[in-house]
Structure 1
Amino acid sequence: MNPWLKTVFAAAGAGALLAAPAMAEKVADVPYAAYQRGQYLTAFREALESAQKGNAAAQTLLGELYWRGLGIPRDRSQAVWWYSQAAVAGNREAQFALGLALVRGEGTTKDKKKGAGWFEAAAAKGHVEAHYNLALLYLEGDVRPHDVKKAAELFEFAAERKHPESEYNLAQLYAAGSGVGRDLAKAAELMQRAAEQNLPIAEVEYGLMLFRGEGVPADEERAAAIFRSAAERGNPVAQNRLARLYAEGRGVERDPVEAVKWHYLARDNGASDPWLDAFAASLDDEVRRDAQERAGNWFNGLIGGLAGVGF
């Protein structure tokens, strides 16, 4: 498998699993409305009655509530049981969720081959993330044959529907000419689309494309702005790139304090850089102190912004 591809198997978050398409089988309005309002215990009580009567959408809703522990204690084995009931009945959201649980071995015994089968069932019904995850399995070449062309086709289906990880991976395939004809302009277009959806790894890659002029006209100022966007959300590679730009005055006005600030943040986040270490060491103590203070203020601001975030 190509090491530069994003390989995390996609998971639906609260609300994402039960988006409008999941309700095609008409789970009762009351439990779903309660779920959307965050009244999870009410949603559970109302959905249970419909689920016990065989309503696949209600069964999927119960699976979601058990999986995430919304209104009830989290119980992933119970979630998998309900997902299984709904998946057998043909609910594509449940098929995807069951596939994900099997591939990861969460709430059930790990069985990637069975998981792939459920991804295929959901994909046949147009499930976008099922296409993405199947593509990863074809790249991996374990429970499905290694087939980069097939993976590219699956990524393309999802990318056409604005799935950012698929856009990112398909861009990488076009850049390498793997499974598709090499096309740097197409790679840049896809990477830009993923970056515009705030996928940090895509922002970094698209920033590099702009900086180097790969598939797009070189534009160091735009590259710097994109690196900053990802850096502000804590991406260490973007923080490192931004530090270098400030140190060299490329795309931004040269600013040693900002350079060292972003270097410290990137380094603390795991992105070491001996060149920037030497750059920081060459500066006055006052510059380094200012940079340290700015880095601390930035970090405290980030933590403060997260303080009110809940489910």
Structure 2
Amino acid sequence: MRRLLLLSLAAALPVGAQVRQTYYSHLGERGSKIYYEQRLSAERQRERANQQQALEDARSRHGLSGASAASDPTAPLGLLAGTLSSLAQRFQARAPEPQLTVEQKLAKVRAKAEQGDLEAQTALAWVYANGYRDKNGFQVPKDETQARHWVRRAAEGGDPASQIDLGIQLLFAEDGAGDAVAGAGWIQKAAARGHADAQYLLSILLEAGKGLPKDPIKAAALLRSAAERGSAGAQEALGEHFYFGEGMPRDDRQAQAWFTQAANQGLALAQYNLGAMHLKERGGVEGWEAFKVAMGWFQKAARQGQVDAQYSLGFMHASGVGTEPDLNEAEFWYTQAAEQGDAPSRKALQDIVRLRNR
């Protein structure tokens, strides 16, 4: 049983990865999955969620309010790096004539794609990966074969986002069609074009030796380049390097600066890390003020479903760190984390029940 003490909390909530291969030490999946695959997967899910909202906004702008995707935004093969908004706009802009149906517009997009148009190819890849239906009943069912076909066509044509997508598909395919070397090659192509997220992913592959020989020096250079170009994932990872002194002198100010850049882009992991830094009084302020700042960052991350932040909020409310003790709030946040399979949160909920039954 975890003690409701600040010191135990500080020990239980590391910033990022104390040991990178066991990144989520108190989650059920720790030790059962490779850290690098976890990081890539988390980044893709975050991007897809953002992209789904971008699509809905684009539909409204183009007079398609009421249209909705036929599947959830975490469907495979979602396009990375914020490309969905522009793709959705281009897809709708293909046939602006108001008398055309969505089915007719799709046919025109397909014709363009067959002729080698990259924008049309990437639009079709998204449509088939996610499925589509409009308010009049026209529907395009999900078709992974077609989605893969058009992602590959666009990647071969030089579209960086599609190269990333195809690379990830080949790196982590679960249907026997994976090819780590080929997947890393596609990531390299996108990175060579200066794509920030591709550089970040390539740095992970080089650090892990997945699909490529290990090269920590090149990985570090790519990580910094990606961070400076605005990749939130790279900014968070670079912050970890500074925080733990991995390959560079330990520097809390640099760590905090990079975490903050990523957190301000909405990256939940970076928001959690900033909370943990302040909880350990390594964020430039001390005492109760530091704990209140920590709680603010934990709240931002927890609202996005970051399980460590949800547990942290439950713990802080239960123990009165940074706030007045409130078992109801503690129970709420522990429940959010427990529903994601977090074992310590389930145990904490049992403790709350015992306290109330005394």
* Bin for the TM-score computed over the shorter chain: 0.7 to 0.9
Name the residue aligned to 1:51. Answer: 113
Select the residue among 103, 113, 134 that pairs with 2:171: 103
CA distance in 1, matches of 2:346, 2:120: 56
- Contact between 2:268 and 2:301, CA under 8 Å: does it hold in 1? yes
Write the deviation string for residues 157-184 of structure 1: whole angstroms up to 9, x where unpaired.
3322332222211111122222333222
Name the residue aligned to 2:20. Answer: 2
* Letter in structure 2 aligned against 1:96: I
CA distance in 2, matches of 1:69, 1:169: 33
Residues 221 and 159 from structure 1, CA distance in 2 versus in 1: closer, same or farther, beyond 3 angstroms? same
CA distance in 2, matches of 1:265, 1:43: 42
**What 5-or-longer segments of structure 1 have no aligned partner?**
287-311
Q: Secondary structure at the match of 1:246?
A: helix
Residues 32 and 238 from structure 1, CA distance in 2 versus in 1: closer, same or farther, beyond 3 angstroms? farther
Q: May I ask how many residue pairs the two structures share in their alignment?
A: 279
Select the residue among 112, 115, 131 that pairs with 1:69: 131
Offset of residue 43 of structure 1: 4.4
Offset of residue 254 of structure 1: 2.6
Q: Secondary structure at the match of 1:74?
A: coil
Greater RCO between the two (CA within 8 Å, min separation 6)?
2
Name the residue aligned to 1:168. Answer: 236
Offset of residue 33 of structure 1: 6.8
CA distance in 2, matches of 1:18, 1:239: 29
Offset of residue 274 of structure 1: 9.2
Name the residue aligned to 2:249. Answer: 181
Write the deviation string for residues 167-212 of structure 1: whole angstroms up to 9, x where unpaired.
2111111222223332221111111222233322222211010111
* Letter in structure 2 aligned against 1:61: A
CA-atom RMSD, angstroms? Answer: 3.3
Matched, 1:283 2:283: no
Trace 1:175-254 onto structure 2 (pairs within 5 A).
175-218=243-286, 219-254=290-325
Residues 252 and 88 from structure 1, CA distance in 2 versus in 1: closer, same or farther, beyond 3 angstroms? same
Offset of residue 273 of structure 1: 5.6
- Contact between 2:91 and 2:123, CA under 8 Å: does it hold in 1? no
CA distance in 2, matches of 1:18, 1:134: 22
Select the residue among 344, 347, 355 that pairs with 1:272: 344
* Letter in structure 2 aligned against 1:44: L
CA distance in 2, matches of 1:32, 1:125: 30
Give % identity.
29
* Letter in structure 1 aligned against 2:264: E
Residues 91 and 108 from structure 1, CA distance in 2 versus in 1: closer, same or farther, beyond 3 angstroms? farther
Name the residue aligned to 2:207. Answer: 139
Residues 86 and 283 from structure 1, CA distance in 2 versus in 1: closer, same or farther, beyond 3 angstroms? closer
Residues 84 and 263 from structure 1, CA distance in 2 versus in 1: closer, same or farther, beyond 3 angstroms? closer
Residues 29 and 69 from structure 1, CA distance in 2 versus in 1: closer, same or farther, beyond 3 angstroms? closer
**What 5-or-longer segments of structure 2 have no aligned partner?**
1-18, 24-34, 56-81, 133-138
Select the residue among 88, 103, 117 that pairs with 2:156: 88
Q: Secondary structure at the match of 1:138?
A: helix
Write the deviation string for residues 43-100 of structure 1: whole angstroms up to 9, x where unpaired.
4212111122222332222222222223522222222222222322322232222222
Q: TM-score, normalised by structure 1?
A: 0.76
CA distance in 2, matches of 1:65, 1:278: 45
Offset of residue 272 of structure 1: 1.1
Q: TM-score, normalised by structure 2?
A: 0.67
CA distance in 1, matches of 2:151, 2:337: 41
Q: Secondary structure at the match of 1:283?
A: helix
Name the residue aligned to 1:31. Answer: 94
CA distance in 2, matches of 1:67, 1:108: 19
Q: Secondary structure at the match of 1:214?
A: coil
Runs ≥4 residues deviating over 6 A: none
- Contact between 1:174 and 1:182, CA under 8 Å: does it hold in 2? yes
